[in-house]
């Protein structure tokens, strides 16, 4: 088997700036956004120029959410970028996802929210036909999935699962039958097969299991099915986070989910992948290059991080200052008691330090972190969930303080574990939080995976 290299990126969320991305309503909208909006055209163009400069790699995979929210003009402009990349000698394979088929997208100008032309799901096959479907070995038009031969030894199983929202963004029975046919064919012909799927197949951390579409609803069954069929590696996106997670099926087969951050928001990375042999895959993470935009004197990494932190701080600010807005955003019932609780905890959060919380809970706190604000610490924890390689593992001062406080609630947590299940498993809050603040697996940026 000859080694094979490719670049993977995801969640390009291209937006045609001429549609409108300015005004007071736009500014309010962006306060709750992780990803950029007005800047997406500049970021995508910079990333594609970087791809054109890569002379040692001629294959590019893009794992869905190509447009910001399904605007027809955004699709058309993005396709022009793809065509330009193709003219530069690159082979391009894309899948579409939920943000690509919206018949009611939005834009903004000084008058408020606008309603540009959207895109129907049935239009996506023709729009992106030459970037996967045209030279596919086989495709399933109903699900917008296909199989492509990347090299004489390697097949790509490009999967789309946004066609039937009633079953929660998973695979239909007919699609599963189609997948089984393709994996059987790959095994028969001695081909290595890996998949690209927009939705995560393994949760980046147990906390994501509690979030509606942060991972496919029947991911455990699906990943076991894929791994036992000979597909041991999947590339995903959607959650805009960097993670590499692995499971072993009951039959002893491994499955890895390599989830990659959106190129238009922190963390903004692409993956450089080298399949060395059928059992060995080298993963490298490449930061999205600088882009041409007024970034207020910040580097592009600082600029994207500022947007991310503004999103988190907006939620925290609203707790104390505008709880009704927060309740509407989170679709919480607008009850007076809930509003008062949010204000109470919001104000306490703004004043608390790690030292003061530990003192209150009779937990030892290392002097090096006593003065650190609780709010800043929680903001970093949330950011670390998305940027990956969460640093607060056992033995660090932050771990000792945080988990020490959590352990004060152990009687309650034991009751929760007995009575509450998530995806069929007991909810172990302590373990969930432990694996949220610290990474105990492989390096989630640069690593070499063994598939068996």
Look at residue 109 and tell me whether its pLDDT is greater than 60: yes
Same domain, 234 and 320: no
421 assigned to some structural domain: yes
Same domain, 259 and 230: yes
Look at residue 168 and tell me whether its pLDDT is greater than 80: no
Alpha helices in 158-210 (DSSP H): 173-188
The CA distance from 80 to 133, in Å, is 17
Mean pLDDT check: name the lowest of 54-63, 99-108, 159-168, 306-315. 159-168
Same domain, 376 and 339: no
**Count of beta carbons in the 10 Å neighbourhood of residue 134:** 11
Quickly count helices (H) and strands (E) in the chain.
Answer: 14, 17
The CA distance from 88 to 286, in Å, is 20
Look at residue 240 and tell me whether its pLDDT is greater than 90: yes
Closest CA to 211 of 169, 245, 163, 269: 169
Query: Cα 297 to chain center, whole Å?
Result: 28
Tell me which of 264, 292, 320 is where a domain ends. 292
Q: Which two tokens stand for residue 449?
A: 């995976």
Tell me which of 351, 384, 418 is where a domain ends. 351
Same domain, 306 and 368: no
The CA distance from 173 to 164, in Å, is 11
Confidence of residue 421 (pLDDT cuts 50, 70, 90): confident
Confidence of residue 437 (pLDDT cuts 50, 70, 90): very high
% residues pLDDT > 70 (the chain): 99
% residues pLDDT > 90 (the chain): 91
pLDDT per position as a tens digit, 115-158: 999 999 999 999 999 999 999 999 999 999 999 999 999 999 99
User: What's the whole-number mean pLDDT along residues 90-95?
Assistant: 98
Look at residue 164 and tell me whether its pLDDT is greater than 60: no
Got the DSSP string for 340-374?
A: HHHHHHHHHHHH-BHHHHHHHTT----GGGTTSBH
**Count of beta carbons in the 10 Å neighbourhood of residue 162:** 21
Place of tokens 């096959």: 125
3-state SS, 414-430, equals HHHHHHCEECCEECCHH
Please give the pLDDT value at position 165.
Answer: 54
Please give the pLDDT value at position 249.
Answer: 97
The pairing of strands 254-259 and 243-248 is: antiparallel
241 assigned to some structural domain: yes
Alpha helices in 203-284 (DSSP H): 219-228
Same domain, 280 and 301: no
Same domain, 268 and 316: no
Is the omega angle on the peptide bond into residue 267 within 30 degrees of 0, that is, cis?
Answer: yes
Q: Average model confidence (pLDDT) for the chain? A: 95
- Could you tell me the CA-to-CA distances from 238 to 35, 91, 335 in Å, in that order? 12, 23, 32
Domain containing residue 393 = 353-444
Strand partners, 6: 273
pLDDT per position as a tens digit, 69-88: 999 999 999 999 999 999 99
Look at residue 390 and tell me whether its pLDDT is greater than 90: yes
In this structure, what are the phi and psi dihedrals at residue 446, rounded to the nearest 5 degrees?
A: -135, 120
452 assigned to some structural domain: no
Same domain, 338 and 376: no
451 assigned to some structural domain: no
411 assigned to some structural domain: yes
Please give the pLDDT value at position 251.
Answer: 97
Q: What is the CATH number of the domain that holds 91?
A: 3.60.21.10
Domains contained in the chain, number: 3
Same domain, 189 and 332: no
Tell me which of 244, 271, 292 is where a domain ends. 292
436 assigned to some structural domain: yes
Please give the pLDDT value at position 209.
Answer: 84
Same domain, 205 and 265: yes
User: What's the whole-number mean pLDDT along residues 8-17?
Assistant: 98
Look at residue 167 and tell me whether its pLDDT is greater than 60: no
pLDDT per position as a tens digit, 178-219: 999 999 999 999 999 999 999 999 999 888 888 878 888 888
Same domain, 76 and 41: yes
Same domain, 193 and 256: yes
- Could you tell me the CA-to-CA distances from 120 to 24, 127, 143 in Å, in that order? 29, 11, 14
Please give the pLDDT value at position 166.
Answer: 53
Look at residue 288 and tell me whether its pLDDT is greater than 90: yes
449 assigned to some structural domain: no
Same domain, 263 and 237: yes
450 assigned to some structural domain: no
Look at residue 435 and tell me whether its pLDDT is greater than 90: yes
Please give the pLDDT value at position 422.
Answer: 82
């Amino acid at each position: 088997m000859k080694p094979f290299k490719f670049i993977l990126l995801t969640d390009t969320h291209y937006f045609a700036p001429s549609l409108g991305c300015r005004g007071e309503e736009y500014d309010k909208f962006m306060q709750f956004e992780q990803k950029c909006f007005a800047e997406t055209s500049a970021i995508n163009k910079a990333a594609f120029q970087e791809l054109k400069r890569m002379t040692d790699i001629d294959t590019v995979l893009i794992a869905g959410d190509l447009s910001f929210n399904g605007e027809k003009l955004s699709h058309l402009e993005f396709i022009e970028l793809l065509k330009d990349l193709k003219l530069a000698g690159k082979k391009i394979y894309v899948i579409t996802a939920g943000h690509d088929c919206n018949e009611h997208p939005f834009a903004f100008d000084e008058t408020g929210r606008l309603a540009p032309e959207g895109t129907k799901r049935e239009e996506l096959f023709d729009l992106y036909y030459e970037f996967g479907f045209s030279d596919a070995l086989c495709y399933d038009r109903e699900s917008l999935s296909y199989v492509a031969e990347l090299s004489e030894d390697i097949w790509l199983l490009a999967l789309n699962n946004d066609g039937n929202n009633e079953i929660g963004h998973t695979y239909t029975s007919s699609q599963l039958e189609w997948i089984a046919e393709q994996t059987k064919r790959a095994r028969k012909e001695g081909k290595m097969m890996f998949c690209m799927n927009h939705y995560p197949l393994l949760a980046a951390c147990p906390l994501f299991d509690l979030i509606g579409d942060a991972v496919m609803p029947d991911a455990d069954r699906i990943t076991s099915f894929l791994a036992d069929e000979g597909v041991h590696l999947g590339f995903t996106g959607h959650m805009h986070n960097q993670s590499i997670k692995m499971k072993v099926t009951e039959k002893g087969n491994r499955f890895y989910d390599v989830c990659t951050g959106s190129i238009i928001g922190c963390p903004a990375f692409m993956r450089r992948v080298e399949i060395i042999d059928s059992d060995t895959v080298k993963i490298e993470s490449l930061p999205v290059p600088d882009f041409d935009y007024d970034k207020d004197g910040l580097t592009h990494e600082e600029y994207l991080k500022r947007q991310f932190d503004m999103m988190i701080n907006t939620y925290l600010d609203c707790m104390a200052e505008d709880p009704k807005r927060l309740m509407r955003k989170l679709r919480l019932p607008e009850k007076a008691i809930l509003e008062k609780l949010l204000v109470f905890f919001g104000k306490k959060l703004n004043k608390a330090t790690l030292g003061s919380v530990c003192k209150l809970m009779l937990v030892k706190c290392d002097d090096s972190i006593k003065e650190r604000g609780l709010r800043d610490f929680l903001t970093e924890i949330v950011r670390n969930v998305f940027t990956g390689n969460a640093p607060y593992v056992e033995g660090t001062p932050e771990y000792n303080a945080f988990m020490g406080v959590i352990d004060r609630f152990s009687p309650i947590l034991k009751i929760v574990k007995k009575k509450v299940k998530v995806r069929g498993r007991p909810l172990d809050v302590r373990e969930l939080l432990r694996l949220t603040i610290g990474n105990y697996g492989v390096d989630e940026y640069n690593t070499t995976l063994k598939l068996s």
